[in-house]
Amino acid sequence: MLSIKNLHASVEEKNIIKGLNLEVKPGEVHAIMGPNGAGKSTLGYVLSGRDGYEVSEGEVTLNGKDLLDLEVEERAREGLFLAFQYPVEIPGVSNMEFMKESVNAMREQRGEDPLTAAEFLKKAKEACKQVQLPLDFLKRGVNEGFSGGEKKRNEIMQMILLEPKLCILDESDSGLDVDALQVVADGVNSQRDGERSFIVVTHYQRLLDYIKPDFVHILADGKIVKSGDASLALEVEKSGYAFLGKAYEEAEA
């Protein structure tokens, strides 16, 4: 699904991703943890093609295609979805219109007929219900005035509607109350179908109690310095990143 080899990337001429390798197979869930400022969000931005992020070295393929060669919208059409750590407000653009255009663009890419307004509304209502967002959120501007938790639920609603192949969730659990955490996790789990893959960036092991990862990686100073199974997240929860001292020195060497 996704193959990242020796990725180096910078923003504002500052090197942030420094030789990162990651392989994600169809249906897998990879959790990425790591200290603040390690480059976790940057990785999501680089993969999604955000302006201002320069790749100086390395290769990234998505389903065999050179991802770095594609424009940002082409990456989305190829099935890459990024749920932002800080979802962006688009005042004046209705959530519903925004999603209808996006969903039909994805359907076109998959060779499917566009949804009519009524068909889309039905799906959008179901998705709203799934993430427990009141229906009037469809009429509001994208994320406009939404609370932090509502924005995160809206991101998951978008993911459900877009049916991407690879979902990158950047701290989708931050700022959520306990019930909202369960709603977001249920939304993600409902989309696990053995084919769709997930990269879940989180600081907290508790999210991984709900979204069971196949692999956990520790990203520090721009590269993955340790990988393991779900027990690695428990280790981080218990002892923090003190162990990185040794692991990081080994990775540097």
Q: Interface residues for ligand ATP in 31-60 (CB under 6 A)?
A: 34, 36-42
| Footprint of ligand ATP on 185-224 (CB under 6 A) | none
Contact between 12 and ligand ATP per CB under 6 A = yes
For ligand ATP, which is the closer residue by CB, 36 or 231? 36
Q: Report which of 148, 192, 152, 174 is spatially closest to residue 33, judged by C-alpha positions.
A: 174
Q: Is 11 in the site for ligand ATP (CB under 6 A)?
A: yes
Spell out the residues 6+ positions from residue 81 whose beta carbon is closer than 8 angstroms to its own: 158, 159, 162, 164, 166, 167, 168
* Residue (106 or 173) nearer to ligand ATP, CB: 173
For position 251 contacting ligand ATP by CB under 6 A, the verdict is: no
Written as one letter, the residue type at 185 is A
* Interface with ligand ATP in residues 15-34 (CB under 6 A): 16, 34
The H-or-E segment that residue 250 falls in is: helix 244-252
CB-count exposure of residue 75 (10 Å: 0-12, 13-18, 19+): buried
Element (H, E) at 170: strand 166-170
Of 8 and 40, nearer to ligand ATP (C-beta) is: 40
Kindly state the number of chain residues that form the binding site for ligand ATP, as judged by CB under 6 A. 12
Interface with ligand ATP includes 124 (CB under 6 A)? no
- Our CB check for ligand ATP shows the closer of 56 and 189 to be 56
Contact status: 240 vs ligand ATP (CB under 6 A): no
Smaller CB separation from ligand ATP, 137 or 241? 241
- Work out whether 151 is an interface residue with ligand ATP (CB under 6 A): no
The whole-angstrom separation of Cα 41 and Cα 172 is 12
Q: Which stretch binds ligand ATP (CB under 6 A): 11-19, 120-128, 176-184, 243-251?
A: 11-19
Give the CB-side neighbour count of residue 27, counting CA atoms within 13 A. Answer: 3
Residue 14 touches ligand ATP, criterion: CB under 6 A: yes
CB 191 within 8 A of CB 207: no
Q: Return the amino acid letter for 156.
A: I
What residues line the site for ligand ATP (CB under 6 A)? 11-12, 14, 16, 34, 36-42
